[in-house]
Structure 1
């Protein structure tokens, strides 16, 4: 598989860090019996750049758009889902 370089600016990293922190806190609280901060899905897609021409579910139309998805089997041809 060819290398896919990724660039990110500080604000992108800040969004990802905030989402990771929220996920960690929600997971700990849910396991402790507090369901209020429960997240709406198993996977989150965070649009760092709009990609309306990409295949669903990756067709995010706005920067910082967040889309929650349930856990699903790996998608054929997906560079993230498939094992190397």
Structure 2
């Protein structure tokens, strides 16, 4: 199963009835090449939708607006300067 399929399946099967916000985010991530590329840099066990979305929620990230979601700001990168 690809990461895109994992997130789409999560959105449609697991989150749809339990958390509409997570379902929207899951679908948005499954369709965003940048988000998927970032997720590919994580170890497979850390790519789980519940972990990623839970971390974003814990860090105060947007959970109700897929357009405002940028997982790249939550992941340290070597090419980013410290802020």
Q: TM-score w.r.t. structure 1 length?
A: 0.30
Which has a greater percent of strand? 1
Which has a greater percent of helix? 2
Q: Which structure ranks higher in relative contact order (CA pairs < 8 Å, sequence separation ≥ 6)?
A: 2
